[in-house]
Amino acid sequence: MIDAIYINRRVEKLSKNEPEKVQWRNLLRNLSDDQDNISNHADSEKRITKYFGVNAEFHPDNKTFFKSPFSKSLKAFRALYSIDYPTDEGDSCDLLMSIVGFSLEPIMHTVLTLRPKNLLFLFSKESSLIGSKDVNAFDRLQALIACHGDGYNPKIDQEILEVADAPHVFSVVRDAITKASSPERVAIDVTGGKKSMDASAFLAASLFEKVAIYYVDYASYDTDKGFPVWGSEFLNKLENPYKVFGVREEKLIKEFWDKADFPAVVKFIKLCIDKLKPEIAKKYRLTEKINQLELVKKAAECYTEWRIFDYQKAKDKPFKGCDKHHSNVLEELAKCSTLEADQNINNQQSAQLALALAIDRYRRGSDAYEHEKHSTAILCYAQSVEILLRFCCKKDWNELKQKRNCKGIKMLGDLRRVLFKDNPFYFNAPGFGERLNENVNKARNAIAHYNCISSSENSDIKIDAECMREVVDELFFLFVNKHGLAEGLINEYKQSLSFCSLNENLELYKP
């Protein structure tokens, strides 16, 4: 008798005296004796027919069929599958694809355990020629299913791959899954066949998250006889690496980050972490990966608030490295909520806070421009102008007009006239409207609908955005010179106010 503690390397689990495990161990009795008697046949054909209990035509042999080693082994194999995967439901597989090599034993174990409604056997040119002229490999498989299936009657097809190279096998498997009526009810057995075929089939199947990938493994191998010890076989459901490591989600996280869609980033990271259950994370040493995902999630949560100019909430959601990447600028931006148009508005400290606030709008406009959201970019640039024009007296304005003579000046003129005629202005980030009177709010709505640039001769909004950005850059230099600030402060703020990028390993960095 095969020692149950030795089987499948699952010592603790399989040696417990629970009814189903006791039953499984009882099914293993006498299998080792059968193997000693049958495996000594030098003729592989006789060994195979005796193992399955069939004659040369692969019809049941009345003397050996009901006590065949395969019948005993299959019962133990099924019992063990129920122990390993107790939640799997019967008839859950609509299509099973099997890569067929030169051994039919593992293929039959999988087929008669999963019992799918449809079977597709994939042969190489060589493996299709196994057997005799009258009873080839496909005929043998059909005959074995008929005699050992206990009334099981699936629809069976075959495909012989004349070219069994990696790309062709990959294409055949992927197409078969795609064409299935319910891809989530497809399974594939990659036990048989050439290694290149199995690897290609595995890669194709792993593209589909819900496709089950199986491999018939064994706990003990008889090196003298050259095949696994009977009864030590077990059906192993392989983990999909794309699912375990969140490859698809990681790609989407990177794509959404690049689009500055931070709420979507948070959503997909949560999905990734939910999939990585503690036992999976421990098994595949993914704890560090989870920590990295958590860091990116916190950064995305911070940027979600920052992007809508809610600086206080962004400040309350810090992430590791935030101060380093952004030079504590959030502290400064959060102070803008108390900056009012009072008698101290023109002092240097207030001017620097206003500059930080304006450059932040400028950076968000530049982000929008990079993502070809030109209307959003114009709105952000307009908000930047809205802040700085409050500090510009008539003399400053004339100076700017003398420096530049372009339609951008016309834009700024329109903005200045609409915004500040008889309207006192208050800085009250993040809301930009909590203490503004009705006329100013109407003016800002006009900006949002671009009425200020509607008279532009050039209808290309991208060019409008570029022009607006150039004018805002000029206004920054005029502003710092007027208020005695260092010109280098502009670039410092542009750098510290730029959001982090995300590399392919989902690591934050500043370009």
The span from the CA of 362 to the CA of 373, in Å, is: 14
What pLDDT shows up at residue 136? 84
pLDDT lower than 70: segments of the chain: 1-43, 87-91, 132-134, 244-248, 279-281, 283-284, 336-348, 390-459
The span from the CA of 27 to the CA of 73, in Å, is: 8
Residue 235's SS3 state is strand
Query: SS3 helix, strand, coil % of the chain, rounded to 5?
Result: 55, 10, 35
E strand or H helix that includes residue 19: helix 19-27
Looking at residue 393, its amino acid is C
The span from the CA of 282 to the CA of 183, in Å, is: 30
Q: Which residues of 491-511 are buried (b: 16+ CB within 10 A; e: fewer)?
A: eebbbbbbbbebeeebebeee
CA 192 to chain centre: 30
Give whole-number Cα distances, 490 to 353, 357, 403, 468, 498, in Å. Answer: 12, 12, 19, 17, 12
Half-sphere exposure at residue 16, Cβ-oriented, CA atoms within 13 angstroms: 7
- Looking at the DSSP bridge assignments, the partners of residue 221 are 228
**Cβ-based neighbour number of residue 167 at 10 Å:** 9
What pLDDT shows up at residue 33? 58
Any idea how long the chain is? 511
What pLDDT shows up at residue 162? 79
E strand or H helix that includes residue 114: helix 105-114
In the chain, the domains with their CATH numbers are 4-238 (3.40.50.10770), 245-308 (no CATH), 326-509 (no CATH)
Task: Express each pLDDT in 312-329 by its tens digit.
Answer: 889 999 999 998 899 888
The span from the CA of 416 to the CA of 22, in Å, is: 87
List helix spans (H) across 129-211. 137-148, 166-179, 195-206
Instruction: Give me 18's structure tokens.
Output: 């629970």
The span from the CA of 170 to the CA of 166, in Å, is: 6
Whether 491 contacts 480, CB under 8 Å: no
